[in-house]
Structure 1
Amino acid sequence: MKRLAAFDLDGTLALNKQPLDDEMADLLTRLLDVTMVAIISGGDWPQFEKQVVSRMPARARLDNFIIQPTTGTKLYRHADGQWTRIYADLFTGDESQRIREALTKAVEQAGYANENIWGEQIEDRGSQITFSALGQQAPLEAKDTWDPDHAKRKKLQALLQPLLPGFAINIGGATSIDITREGIDKAYGLKRLSEQTGVALDEMIFFGDAIFPGGNDYPAKHLGLDTVRVRDVAETKSVVGAIAAWLV
């Protein structure tokens, strides 16, 4: 039996940058009663507070809950009534500048510089830099129609790779590209999760909507974890509901 269930966030547990709905929060709470739960995603801690932490019911067993922002380059646990950061692997100033310059060049080459933008496109999350093609505040309707087959971001990914040797460039969310140091992806985060919890990788199961080559959930599969690729939040609810009922 699996001792830990790990999840992607956007597109898996919630709509892009939206809070967990009541049903999903309740399902995760039921799962926390019977196993450890981790969420690993590209957003930083403030985004997790808004989307996840603030939505969990008071009865949730937060001691069983682990949050891994910025593709697992940070890890938070709950103890003594508060969340504490356990580790953080941060970029240097030079690394951040190189990534910003490469993004500007690649976006121009791809022809995406003149898109309608809502908010900042480039967000430095300390240990990860995320490019959101339509901006951080873009409406869901615009995001859902911009790159549904990932073709636009695969083009941008291909342009960035020769510009950023030594970095990992992955597709995430609905319009995003996540950039971390090479070797730092969800596989890295899941290995750190194993170290922190004492749960072996073969005792984990991972759920995500981007478990395909180039997707930011794919490293979990490449690592050898049992994985479940979900189409959307509704399918995650069905799967988690069945697992929670079976484990009780």
Structure 2
Amino acid sequence: MKNIPLPIVRKKKLVIFDLDKTLAESKQPMDDEMAKLVRGLLDHTKVAVISGGSFKQFQVQFVPKLTSGNLGQLSLFPTCGSAFYRFEDGEWHNVYTELLSPEEKARIFRAFEDMFLEVGFFRPEKIYGELIEDRSAQVTFGAYGSTAPLALKEAWDPDRHKRLKMIDVLKRFIPDFEIRTGGTTSIDVTRKGIDKAHGIHQMVKHLGIAKEDMVFVGDDLEEEGNDFPVIATGVDVIPVENVEHTKKLIRSIIQI
């Protein structure tokens, strides 16, 4: 990945962000400082947010912090771009959603259960939310559940070793699906071809912006990460380490 000079970044027509660990801590509401920076960026350019999370998760983490500002400049792409929401007439409207069929979901759930047996994963005594979550267009596993305390999640698999082992097994059971790490303890499963690269192509189609006029910002650009497919699209990418790094980047873009 090459370094993108700031003058070039400032000329981009669309800045695309991952959500977890980029704009907000994992499954936590975006903080007030970040919300202010995003509003400032919306005054300069169009912004899109693409995440493995569902739109319901956007409504918890992101949307409540942006009740004012130039929201017509903002586009939301939940579940790795398998859905698109835009702000019109004072509310968020769904433009499209690509749903998994009941049969596909059943296969994925069964594959997770079979994988647990093979790798020796035992369900925690306390699960926060759902261990395997149906996100309509995506099925997501979270080791302690999607709403587990951040400290608990961060301690479970910091080097992704556990999840990569799980993914190797899942790929044998359901080779016809996309399977990637996401968030802090998550594994995301989508229909083949539904990943963040697909989301980028949908942005080109629905927003009318060429890929060379986009830049993507994310923390999960390693090979098994759910940001990694963006690299293959040719869109310029800026890796960030954490939320504070993203804040510093946005300040540099809007020059404050």
Q: TM-score range by the shorter chain?
A: over 0.9
Number of the residue aligned with 2:75: 66
Partner in structure 2 of residue 159 of structure 1: 169
> 4+ residue stretches of structure 1 with deviation over 6 A?
none
User: For the residues of structure 1 that align with 2:156 and 2:117, how far apart are their CA atoms?
Assistant: 17
Distance in 2 (CA, whole Å) between partners of 1:137 and 1:19 is 12
> CA–CA distance in 1 between the matches of 2:119 and 2:18?
28
Q: Which residue of 2 aligns with 1:169?
A: 179
| Alignment size in residue pairs | 245
Q: C-alpha distance in 2, partners of 1:232/1:179?
A: 24
Structure 2: where are the runs of 5+ without partners? 1-10
Whether contact under 8 Å (1:73, 1:189) holds in the other structure is: yes
AA partner of residue 111 (structure 1): G
Partner of 1:196: 206
Q: How far apart in 2 are the matches of 1:240 and 1:65? A: 15
Deviation for aligned residue 1:49:
1.1
Q: Name the residue aligned to 2:157.
A: 147
Bigger mean CA offset, 99-108 vs 115-124 = 115-124
- Of 23, 32, 47, the match for 1:13: 23
How much does 1:137 deviate? Answer: 2.3
Partner residue, 1:32: 42
Partner of residue 247, structure 2: 237
**Would you say the 8 A contact 1:29–1:57 is kept in 2?**
no
Alpha-carbon shift at residue 176 of structure 1 (Å): 0.1
Q: What is the letter of the counterpart of residue 161 of structure 1?
A: K
- RMSD, matched Cα: 1.1
2-structure distance, mates of 1:122, 1:39: 23
Counterpart of 1:44 in structure 2 is: 54
Question: Does 2:106 correspond to 1:79?
Answer: no
1:240 to partner: Cα distance: 1.0
2:125 counterpart of 1:103: no
Give the structure-2-normalised TM-score. 0.93
Given the two structures, how large is their TM-score scaled by the length of structure 1? 0.96
Per-residue deviation, 1:108: 2.0
Structure 1 stretches lacking a partner, 5+ long? none
